[in-house]
Amino acid sequence: MKITYLSVMEQERKNQFKNGLYDYVTVTMAYDTSKIEGSTLTLSDTQSLYERNLVPTGGHSVDDIIESKNHFELVSFMLDTMEEPFTERLIKEFHQMLKKGTTDEKRYGVGRYKGIPNIAGNQKVAQPYEVPELMEGLLEKYNLLPSVDLEDILSFHHQFELIHPFQDGNGRVGRIIMLRESLRNDVTPFIISSERREEYINGLKKFSDDSSILMKEATLQQEVFRDIAEPFIQHYKKEATFKRDNSHDR
């Protein structure tokens, strides 16, 4: 069996292994992706919420806490559905899981496309009536690719954010999709750091004219992920080799 980032995360989750790669991805992803959107939770708050269901510091909105807890579940759900086809239904389920129990659920509904025009910063995005056709076309084109590499994943992300299909939560859904597709296609995953928010947003804005800006950011974060993950990969490779060698001795 080939040892991959995905196989390590799945094994750790199954065995409820603490403080490993799965926990790192779950906490770091929830923190950074939420911080990019303005969450007030610190990394230590997020870690404590994950491990002890407790936020040590005050002054946080209830939605920030709920969405962070939802994101922990979302990472697990992403792994549960890794073998499912990449469809609009799955993307809507990601959104529903992220936003359940928030004020947006009562205000707009969750797990369904937007019904009111919105905007991404100063970026014009698709109108509500355009979303179904655009999403169908985006997924059809992506799913027909013979193989998927980093640039394909970033291109999908850029187009998804230009469509901005949901009333809110588009960035977080878009980034969990990037994580899923990296793991699924054996591309080194990356978690966009909240400290690199401006560079990431700039890369998205300029992607059509110069994809190298966002590629550079993703590659930078791939290096961070690779450094964190390498000890776990090596451990499970040694473990697999030991089991294989011992089985031959029987």
Catalytic sites, residue numbers: 164
Ligand-binding annotation for 168, yes or no, is yes
Q: Which of 195, 192, 194 is nearest to 219 (CA)?
A: 192
Q: Which of 79, 74, 68 is nearest to 183 (CA)?
A: 79
User: What residues contact residue 186 under an 8 Å CB cut-off, 6+ apart?
Assistant: 4, 6
Ligand-binding annotation for 186, yes or no, is no
26 token code pair: 């779950």
Asked whether the beta carbons of 90 and 103 are under 8 A apart, the reply is no
Ligand-binding annotation for 175, yes or no, is yes
Long-range contacts from 197-204, C-beta under 8 angstroms, 24+ separation: 197/35, 197/36, 200/36, 201/121, 204/157, 204/158, 204/161
Q: How far apart are CA 236 and CA 233, in angstroms?
A: 5
Ligand-binding annotation for 75, yes or no, is no
Ligand-binding annotation for 171, yes or no, is yes
Ligand-binding annotation for 131, yes or no, is no
Q: How far apart are CA 9 and CA 183, in angstroms?
A: 10
138 token code pair: 């985006």
Asked whether the beta carbons of 153 and 178 are under 8 A apart, the reply is yes
Ligand-binding annotation for 250, yes or no, is no
Q: How many CB atoms lie within 10 A of CB 71?
A: 24
Helices (H) and strands (E) in the chain, counts: 11, 2
132 token code pair: 């179904």
Binding-site positions for ATP read 168-175
